[in-house]
Amino acid sequence: MNTERCPNMNHSRSNAPVKYCPTCGEVVNKAVPQRGCTEEKHAARRKGQDRYCVDCGKTLR
């Protein structure tokens, strides 16, 4: 387990706009429904800073 505090701002929000944290992959908002993702979407995310998909929680790299 990661003992360091995740720096992603979504954790401190009470109403995060995404289901999963893009930095650590943990669920930040259970109320957001799970979304199906395309490989295209994941490929685009891989080019960004995200390590995890915010919609399905999958590891991007």
Q: What does the binding site for Zn ion look like in residue numbers (CB under 5 A)?
A: 6, 8, 21, 23-24, 37, 53, 55-56, 58
Three-state SS at 46: helix
Identity of the residue, 16 or 23, whose beta carbon is nearer to Zn ion in the bound complex: 23
Q: Where are the beta strands (DSSP E) in 1-61?
A: none
H helices present in the chain, as ranges: 39-46
**What does the DSSP 8-state code read for residue 52?**
B
Q: How far is the CB of 42 from Zn ion (least distance, A)?
A: 6
Q: How far is the CB of 14 from Zn ion (least distance, A)?
A: 15
Q: How far is the CB of 11 from Zn ion (least distance, A)?
A: 5
